[in-house]
Amino acid sequence: MWTELRPVWILVRRELRDQLRDWRIIFPILILALGFPFIMNWTVREMLDFTSEYGASIVADRLVPFLFMVVGFFPISVSLVIALESFAGEKERNSIEPLLNTPLLDWQIYVGKLLASTLMPLLGSYLAMIVYLVGLVNRGISLPQPIIMTQIFLLTTIQAVMMVSGAVVISSQATSVRAANLLSSFIVLPVAFLIQWEALVMFWGNEMTLWWVLLGTFILAVLLSRVGVSHFNREKVLGREIDVLKPAWAWQVFWKQFKGEARSLSEWYVQKVFPTFRELLVPSILTLAIALVGMAIGAYMLQQYPVLVTASKLEQQNLPDIERLRQALLGNQPGMFLLIFWQNLRVLLLSMVLGIFTFGVVGALPIMGTMAAVGFLGAFLSTNQVSLLPILAMIVPHGIFEVPAAIFATAAVLKIGAALATPARDFTIGEVLLRSLADWAKIMVGIVVPLLLVAAFIEAFVTPQLVLAILGS
Amino acid sequence: MIHAEGLTKVFDDFVAVNQVSFSVAEGRVLALLGKNGAGKTTTIRMLSSLLKPTQGSARVAGYDIVREAQKVRASVGVLTEHHGLYSRMSLWEYLEFFGSLYGMTETEVRRRARPLLEEFELNGTEKKRLGEFSKGMRQKLALVRAILHNPPVLMLDEPTSAMDPESARVVRNAIAHMRGQGRTILLCTHNLVEGEELADDVAIIHRGRIILQGALEEVKEQQLGAPEFLARLAHPLNGVALQLPEGVTVTARGEDWVRFQVAHPRVNNPELLRALFHQQVEVLSFQEVPRSLEEVFLKAIRMEKEDVD
C-alpha cells in the first residue's frame, strides 16, 4: 500500500512546495485565515448587541455558526483556483508530458493532484475557523454547540474535496487554464446554491437536516472523486478537447446511441429500448427503496408534527357536495388530461436536470418528495379514521401506470450518475454523458411517456367516474 | 529493443500515424525524419505508452506498449519536444523529484546526476531556480532528466531544436556517447544534418506513413544510385577517352577532373586506379563525393508526392 502511495506523496510534496513559493496563493489564504475571521467576530458582536436591543437575539445566535461556516468556506474557495490550474496549467506550460512519461499510474497522478490542490486551502480553512473561535471567546461570545461545530468542520472538509474533485476533472479535460476557468461555473453555481441552502438550514437550526446535507455532499464528493479517477487517463490529458463546442458530433453520438441501426419502431424497441430497460433493474430497485423511504418519512413527519392534524380541523371541513364535485371533475376532461400529463412529465424532466449535476443523487428527490406526500396523506387519513376507499380510488387506477413510470424515469437518471462514475476508457466524459442521455431518452420516449399518457387518460377520464360512483353510493 | 508493427493512430477523423512498422536494434540509433506534423511525435507518444494505438502493436525494451505500459515507461527516457520545467524549483529539486518518481533515492540521484551535469556543462547551477535558466540550459536539463534513471531506450524528440550551436554540439556529442554505451535511441528530428551525423538507420515519415527506411548508406544508394568519386588530375586530359573497368562510368568531367560512378567501390576502385595508372593518367586526389541525407529526404518526399499525384 505504502509503495503505491509513495509516488502520490512525492507528487503532493512537490506541488505543496511550489504553492508555498507562490505568493499569489499564500497571501490570499493567509489574509482569509488570519484577517477575515476578525471581521466576522466584530460582525457577530455588533449583531448580538443590535438584536438584543429588540429581543431578537435568536437571529444573532444563529449567525454565530453560520459565520463559522463562512469563515471556513472562504479559504477553501482558493482550492478551486489551484485545482483548475492543476492539469490545464501544466499543459499550458508544457511540463505535463515529462510527468506523464514517468511510471506513475493514472490514479496516482490524479490523486496526487487532488490532494495537492486540497491540502493548503483546507489547512487555511481550519486555521481561519480556529482564529474565529478564539476571537469569539475573546469577545465573550458563546461558542456554537460542539455538535454544530463538528458538522460545520466536516461540511467544510467535504465541500473542499467536492469542489476540488470537480475542478480537477475539469482541469484534466480542458486544454487551457482559460477554458478550465470558464467551465468552473459548473462547480461555482451548484456550490453557491448549496451554500444558500446550508445557510437556510442553519438559520432554521435543524441539526438533523444538517446531517442529511452532510451525507448528501459526502456522497457527491465521493462520486466526483470517483468520476475523476475513472475518467482520467494520460491520452485525454494530452489530446482531447472539451472547450470546443461540436454540436454535429454531439448529435451524432446521441443519435447513434438512441436509434442505432433500427429501421422500424419494433426494431427500435427490440434493439435499443428493451436492452437498456433491462439494465434498469438495479436502479429501479434502488428507486423503489427511495420511494418507500420517502413514504416512511412522510408518515414520520405527521408523528413529529401532530399540530398539522389539529390545524387541519378536518371535522369542521365541509366537503363539497356531489354535484359541485361532478362539475369540477367532469368539466374539462381533455384539458385535465393534458395538464396531468404535462405536470408529470415536467417533474420527471426536472428530476433529470437535477440528476445530471449531482450524479443522480438529487434526481431522486422529486419521487422521494412525492412519495413522502403520499405517506403523509395516508398517515393523516388513518390518524383521522377517514375511509381510505375514495382515496385509493383516486390514486390506484392511474397510479398503477404513473408510479412505475416515475420509478423507471428516476432509475434512468440514477443510471446516468452511475455511468458518469464508472470507468469508460474508450470514451470521454462528454461521450459518456451523451450516451447516458440517449439511454435516458430511450426509456422516456419508449416506456415512460406511453405510461404517463395512459395514466393521465385514466386520471382524467376514468378516475372521476369511479370517485363519483363511490362517493355517490 | 524497439519493434513497431503496423502502428496506427486516428484522432477523430484524422489519421495521424498510418501502419508504421520499424525496428531499432540494441545500441543503434534510428533517425525518424519528417516534416512538422508528419507523425513523429505521435509515434513517440505511442511507443512511450502515452497514447494507445488505434491499431497495431509495439514492444519497447521487451515490453508491450499497451499491456505493460508502466514497465515501458520505466524503461524509456523521453525528451519531449516541448519540455516545460517547474520554474520555481532548483535544478537539484527538479532532478530529485523525477528521480524519486523512478524509484531512485536522493543519493542515487546525486551520484548519477553529477557526471551528467558535468557532461552537459550544467555543473555550478544546481541551486539555481529553473526559471532563470536559458533555453539551451533548459533543453540540456530536460535531456539529463530523461536519462537520469539510466534507461536502456531513449526517445528524443527534436533534441537540439532552438539551441545555440555550442549547446547543440554538446548534446550531439552526448547522444553519440550514449549510443556508444549500448543504448537504443529513437531520434525524431527534421534537422537532417543531425540525423546524418548520429543515425545508423533512418526512416522517413510523411503524412503519417513511413515512405523510406533502412541503414543510412543503403538508403542513400537506394535513392541516389551508386556512390560517386571525384578524381583530380595532375595534367589536363585534352579530350582523351578513358578505358574504364566494368562497373565504372563517367558522370561528369572537366579539364583536370573526372567524376566516376562506381557500382562496387570495394572491388571497382582499385581496378579504376590501376586502369588510370596504366593509361598514364596521374591522379592528384581521389575522394568520394559527399551525398547528404537532405538529398535523400527531398527526393523521397518528391517521389511520394508524384506517386500521390
Task: Kindly list the strands in the beta sheet with B2-11, ordered across the sheet, starting from the edge strand earlier in the chain.
Answer: B14-24, B2-11, B55-60, B63-64
Cβ atoms B247, B268 nearer than 8 A: yes
A78-120 pLDDT, tens per residue? Answer: 888 888 888 888 888 888 889 999 999 988 998 999 899 889 8
pLDDT number for residue A90:
85
Q: A18 vs chain B: nearest CA distance in angstroms?
A: 6
Cβ atoms B188, B156 nearer than 8 A: yes
**Residue burial A352-362, b: 16+ Cβ < 10 Å; e: rest:** bebbbbbbbbb
For residue A144, which of A40, A39, A33 has the smallest C-alpha distance? A40
For residue A348, which of A454, A462, A451, A209 has the smallest C-alpha distance? A451
Domain assignment present for B95? yes
B208 and B280 belong to one structural domain = no
ipTM: 0.83
Domain assignment present for B295? no
B254 and B209 belong to one structural domain = no
Domain assignment present for B294? no
Using the predicted structure, report yes or no on whether residue A320 has a pLDDT greater than 70. Answer: no
- Share of residues in chain B with pLDDT > 90 (%): 45
pLDDT number for residue A327:
72
pLDDT number for residue B201:
92
Report the phi/psi class of residue A198: left, alpha or beta, with left for phi > 0 and alpha for psi in -120 to 50: alpha
Interstrand relation of B153-157 and B76-79 (parallel, antiparallel or unpaired): parallel
Q: Which residues of A touch B146 (CB under 8 A)?
A: 98
B254-299 pLDDT, tens per residue? Answer: 888 999 999 888 899 999 999 988 988 889 999 988 888 888 888 8
The SS3 call for residue B249 is strand
Nearest CA in chain B to A101: B73
CATH number of the domain encompassing residue B258:
3.30.70
A343 and A388 belong to one structural domain = yes
Last residue of a domain, one of A239, A266, A294: A239
pLDDT number for residue B63:
95
Please tell me if residue B78 touches chain A, with a CB cutoff of 8 Å. yes
Decide if B145 and A98 are in contact by the 8 Å CB cutoff: yes
A252 and A219 belong to one structural domain = no
The three-point CA angle A30-A33-A37 to 5° equals 140
Distance CA B283, CA B233 (A): 5
Q: Which residues of B touch A87 (CB under 8 A)?
A: none
A173 and A261 belong to one structural domain = no
A203-252 pLDDT, tens per residue? Answer: 877 778 888 888 888 888 888 888 788 778 788 777 655 556 678 888 88
pLDDT number for residue B258:
92
Please tell me if residue B97 touches chain A, with a CB cutoff of 8 Å. yes
Q: Which residues of B touch A105 (CB under 8 A)?
A: 70
A291 and A394 belong to one structural domain = yes
What's B132's DSSP letter?
G
A211 and A307 belong to one structural domain = no
Instruction: Give one DSSP letter per residue of A131-161, joined into a string.
Output: HHHHHHHHTTPPPPPHHHHHHHHHHHHHHHH
Using the predicted structure, report yes or no on whether residue A355 has a pLDDT greater than 80. Answer: yes
CB contacts < 8 Å between A and B, how many? 73
Using the predicted structure, report yes or no on whether residue A8 has a pLDDT greater than 80. Answer: yes
B106-129 pLDDT, tens per residue? Answer: 999 999 999 999 988 888 888 899
Last residue of a domain, one of A182, A211, A239: A239
Last residue of a domain, one of A187, A222, A239: A239
Distance CA A197, CA B156 (A): 55
Domain assignment present for B298? no
The continuous run of DSSP H or E covering A376 comes out as helix A365-383
A313 and A354 belong to one structural domain = yes
Distance CA A419, CA A415 (A): 6
Residues in contact with A133: Cβ distance below 8 Å, sequence separation at least 6, in sequence order:
A68, A143, A149
Domain assignment present for B281? yes
Chain B window 112-151: which residues touch A at a Cβ cutoff of 8 Å?
A: 142, 145-146
A258 and A229 belong to one structural domain = no
Distance CA A139, CA A141 (A): 6
Note down the domain range covering B271. Answer: 228-288
A129 and A182 belong to one structural domain = yes
Q: B80 vs chain A: nearest CA distance in angstroms?
A: 7
B237 and B196 belong to one structural domain = no
Interstrand relation of B283-288 and B228-233 (parallel, antiparallel or unpaired): antiparallel
B177 and B121 belong to one structural domain = yes
Residues in contact with A293: Cβ distance below 8 Å, sequence separation at least 6, in sequence order:
A368
Q: Which residues of A touch B70 (CB under 8 A)?
A: 103, 105
Q: A247 vs chain B: nearest CA distance in angstroms?
A: 15
| Confidence at A316, pLDDT banded by 50, 70, 90 | low
Q: Which residues of A touch B48 (CB under 8 A)?
A: 101
pLDDT number for residue A317:
54
- What SS3 string covers A174-234? CCCHHHHHHHCHHHHHHHHHHHHHHHHHHHHCCHHHHHHHHHHHHHHHHHHHHHHHHHCCH
Decide if B52 and A235 are in contact by the 8 Å CB cutoff: yes
B166-183 pLDDT, tens per residue? Answer: 888 888 888 888 888 889
For residue A61, which of A72, A50, A48, A46 has the smallest C-alpha distance? A48
Decide if B98 and A21 are in contact by the 8 Å CB cutoff: no
A154 and A288 belong to one structural domain = no
Distance CA B214, CA A294 (A): 73
Nearest Cβ partner for A97 among B11, B80, B88: B80
Query: What is the mean pLDDT of the segment spanning A334-346?
Result: 90
CATH number of the domain encompassing residue B19:
3.40.50.300
Q: Which residues of B touch A238 (CB under 8 A)?
A: 45, 50-51
What's A314's DSSP letter?
G
- Return the C-alpha cell found at A395: 390514486
Q: What is the mean pLDDT of chain A?
A: 84
Cβ atoms B42, B51 nearer than 8 A: yes
A269 and A295 belong to one structural domain = yes
Query: Which one-letter amino acid corresponds to residue A271?
Result: Q
Q: B120 vs chain A: nearest CA distance in angstroms?
A: 19
pLDDT number for residue A453:
94
Last residue of a domain, one of B159, B184, B214: B214
Q: A433 vs chain B: nearest CA distance in angstroms?
A: 18
Residues in contact with A158: Cβ distance below 8 Å, sequence separation at least 6, in sequence order:
A214, A217, A218, A221
Domain count across chain B:
2
- Share of residues in chain A with pLDDT > 70 (%): 93
pLDDT number for residue A242:
53
- Return the C-alpha cell found at A427: 470514451
In B148-286, alpha helices (H)? 165-180, 192-198, 216-224, 265-278
The SS3 call for residue B72 is helix
Residue A177 CB neighbour total at 10 angstroms: 20
B92 and B16 belong to one structural domain = yes
Chain B window 249-278: which residues touch A at a Cβ cutoff of 8 Å?
A: none
What's B90's DSSP letter?
B
B125 and B170 belong to one structural domain = yes
B247 and B202 belong to one structural domain = no
Decide if A10 and B145 are in contact by the 8 Å CB cutoff: no
Nearest CA in chain B to A6: B101
HSE value, Cβ hemisphere, 13 Å, CA-based, for A457: 7
Decide if B50 and A238 are in contact by the 8 Å CB cutoff: yes
Query: Which one-letter amino acid corresponds to residue A63?
Result: L
Q: How far apart are the first and last CA of chain B?
A: 37
Using the predicted structure, report yes or no on whether residue B34 has a pLDDT greater than 70. Answer: yes
Domain assignment present for B302? no
B33 and B178 belong to one structural domain = yes
B145 and B268 belong to one structural domain = no
pLDDT number for residue A193:
81
Decide if B101 and A234 are in contact by the 8 Å CB cutoff: no
Q: Which residues of A touch B145 (CB under 8 A)?
A: 98
Please tell me if residue B50 touches chain A, with a CB cutoff of 8 Å. yes
Cβ atoms A408, A448 nearer than 8 A: yes
Integer CA distances (angstroms), A282 to A48, A275, A285, A286, B259, in order = 52, 14, 5, 6, 84
Decide if B102 and A102 are in contact by the 8 Å CB cutoff: yes
Please tell me if residue B41 touches chain A, with a CB cutoff of 8 Å. no
Note down the domain range covering A149. Answer: 2-239
- Pick the residue of A92, A97, A233, A249 with the most B CBs within 10 A to test the interface with B by mutation: A97
B259 and B175 belong to one structural domain = no
Q: B100 vs chain A: nearest CA distance in angstroms?
A: 7
Decide if B93 and A17 are in contact by the 8 Å CB cutoff: yes
Q: Which residues of A touch B12 (CB under 8 A)?
A: 249
A342 and A213 belong to one structural domain = no
Please tell me if residue B92 touches chain A, with a CB cutoff of 8 Å. no
| Confidence at B97, pLDDT banded by 50, 70, 90 | very high
Report the phi/psi class of residue A222: left, alpha or beta, with left for phi > 0 and alpha for psi in -120 to 50: alpha
Q: B286 vs chain A: nearest CA distance in angstroms?
A: 50
Nearest Cβ partner for A22 among B11, B70, B88: B88
Query: What is the mean pLDDT of the segment spanning A384-410?
Result: 85
Residues in contact with B268: Cβ distance below 8 Å, sequence separation at least 6, in sequence order:
B245, B246, B247, B248, B262
A151 and A272 belong to one structural domain = no
**Residue burial B280-306, b: 16+ Cβ < 10 Å; e: rest:** ebeeeeeeeeebebeebbeebbeebee
Q: A226 vs chain B: nearest CA distance in angstroms?
A: 22
pLDDT number for residue B47:
95
Domain count across chain A:
2
Nearest Cβ partner for B48 among A90, A94, A101: A101
What's A140's DSSP letter?
T
Domain assignment present for B296? no
pLDDT number for residue A45:
87
B242 and B193 belong to one structural domain = no
pLDDT number for residue B186:
94
Nearest Cβ partner for A94 among B48, B83, B101: B83
Distance CA A20, CA A5 (A): 22
Using the predicted structure, report yes or no on whether residue A20 has a pLDDT greater than 70. Answer: yes
Decide if B101 and A235 are in contact by the 8 Å CB cutoff: no
- Return the C-alpha cell found at A6: 509513495
pLDDT number for residue A239:
65
Decide if B71 and A104 are in contact by the 8 Å CB cutoff: no
Distance CA B85, CA B94 (A): 8
Distance CA B26, CA B186 (A): 11
Using the predicted structure, report yes or no on whether residue A27 has a pLDDT greater than 80. Answer: yes
Decide if B97 and A7 are in contact by the 8 Å CB cutoff: no
The SS3 call for residue B22 is strand
| Confidence at A308, pLDDT banded by 50, 70, 90 | low
Decide if B74 and A101 are in contact by the 8 Å CB cutoff: no
What's A242's DSSP letter?
S
Q: How far is CA A191 from the centre of its chain?
A: 10
Domain assignment present for B223? no
Decide if B71 and A103 are in contact by the 8 Å CB cutoff: yes
Q: What is the mean pLDDT of chain B?
A: 89
